């Protein structure tokens, strides 16, 4: 059998399903695909390469040494328990949860930014937060050109970032409001339909939320700039898919908006849509279901001599999660780390 034995943990979820479809669409060299999820989803089938693949119940005995690679999207508690089990068998793990992101020695990787962080010895690899991924794809090319001095970001994050239950909650609230019925929030702390909630995750003692501090700390780690000043305000908005971000940066060197536009247009994974006079700029509806990080509204920050402001939009379930994980797997393959360890199957 040619190719590698690949597993997806949390295969029945929204991100897990996208991992499966992206592995197929990008023709990752899968020789055998195994799918794992909770007992509730065990026995369901997903199609891969024209064949049905049955979801197995995840247990401590699920992993075998012949598995080459596991993509995890099952939550931090599952990752903390099962990722070390897989690594102990010599299996590469790309984990989509927050469990390992800030652990010393664990690579936190966006392939367009820091693929050099990968190594054959680091078997557990962290996939960054969705809002961080799209921002650093836009920040890094500017950083290379003119060096960042400060980053200010406000996010407008889709409900799908909180999972399938959050999507259903917004849809149910819309129906309730149309029918004149009372709205009772459960997933979110307040009504999300026709509303904005300036809270994602729990508040910390410093007044920021966990989501906001993820953006601060993960950006620094990915870009190798541990003291980079970053401040974030993260807001949940009544959009189904695709996060949007308003970003303002201060640079060490002056950079005109036109030059920044050209730099970003050449950046890997980035597409510039920036003709505001014609009503062309990135929006969630256009980004949903697509792989790129879209950047527009690129302009000089009038309050700072070396400042730029711009708008970033990307599908949080694809580039913000599943696609980035598969791209990490592709890097492992391209660098020979998978084949040198296993030789393929």
Q: Please state the φ and ψ torsions of residue 211, each to the nearest 5 degrees.
A: -65, -40
- Pair 260, 308: CB distance under 8 Å: yes
Q: CA quadruple 235, 241, 246, 247: dihedral positive or negative?
A: positive
- Pair 134, 153: CB distance under 8 Å: no
CA 102/CA 214 separation, integer angstroms: 9
CA 224/CA 36 separation, integer angstroms: 34
Q: Which helix (H) or strand (E) holds 95?
A: strand 92-95
Q: Which of 137, 243, 331, 345 is catalytic?
A: 243
CA 110/CA 47 separation, integer angstroms: 28
Q: Which helix (H) or strand (E) holds 212?
A: helix 210-223
130 is an active site residue: yes
Q: Are strands 243-251 and 148-157 parallel, antiparallel or unpaired?
A: antiparallel
Note the residue count of the chain.
345
Q: Which of 130, 137, 234, 331 is catalytic?
A: 130
Q: Which helix (H) or strand (E) holds 144?
A: helix 130-146
- Pair 233, 215: CB distance under 8 Å: no
Tokens at residue 176, please?
Answer: 């309730």
- Pair 107, 100: CB distance under 8 Å: no
- Pair 329, 323: CB distance under 8 Å: no
- Pair 42, 11: CB distance under 8 Å: no
- Pair 14, 163: CB distance under 8 Å: yes
Adjacency order of strands within the sheet including 45-48: 45-48, 51-57, 30-37, 4-9, 69-72, 92-95, 124-126
The residues annotated as belonging to the active site are: 130, 243
């Amino acid at each position: 059998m040619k190719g590698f034995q690949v597993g997806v943990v949390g295969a029945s979820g929204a991100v897990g399903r996208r991992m499966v479809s992206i592995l197929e669409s990008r023709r990752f060299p899968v020789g055998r695909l195994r799918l794992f999820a909770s007992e509730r989803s065990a026995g369901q089938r997903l199609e891969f390469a024209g064949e049905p693949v049955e979801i197995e119940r995840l247990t401590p005995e699920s992993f075998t040494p012949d598995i080459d690679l596991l993509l995890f999207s099952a939550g931090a508690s599952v990752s903390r328990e099962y990722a070390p089990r897989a690594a102990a068998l010599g299996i590469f793990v790309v984990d989509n949860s927050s469990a390992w992101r800030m652990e010393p020695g664990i690579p936190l990787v966006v392939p367009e930014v820091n693929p050099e962080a990968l190594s054959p010895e680091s078997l557990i690899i962290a996939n960054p937060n969705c809002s961080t991924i799209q921002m650093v794809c836009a920040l890094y090319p500017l950083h290379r050109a003119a060096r960042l001095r400060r980053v200010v970001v406000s996010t407008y994050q889709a409900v799908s970032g909180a999972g399938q239950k959050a999507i259903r909650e917004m849809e149910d609230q819309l129906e309730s409001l149309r029918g004149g019925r009372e709205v009772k929030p459960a997933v979110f702390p307040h009504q999300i339909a026709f509303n904005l909630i300036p809270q994602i995750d729990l508040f910390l003692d410093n007044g920021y939320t966990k989501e906001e501090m993820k953006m601060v700390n993960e950006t620094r780690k990915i870009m190798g700039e541990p003291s980079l000043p970053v401040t974030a305000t993260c807001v949940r908005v009544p959009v189904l898919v695709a996060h949007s971000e308003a970003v303002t940066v201060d640079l060490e060197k002056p950079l005109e908006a036109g030059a920044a536009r050209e730099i970003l247009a050449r950046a890997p994974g980035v597409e510039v849509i920036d003709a505001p006079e014609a009503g062309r700029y990135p929006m969630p509806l256009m980004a949903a279901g697509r792989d790129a990080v879209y950047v527009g509204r690129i302009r000089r920050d009038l309050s700072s001599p070396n400042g730029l402001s711009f708008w970033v939009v990307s599908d949080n379930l694809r580039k913000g999660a599943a696609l980035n994980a598969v791209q990490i797997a592709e890097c492992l393959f391209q660098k020979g780390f998978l084949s040198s360890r296993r030789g393929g199957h």
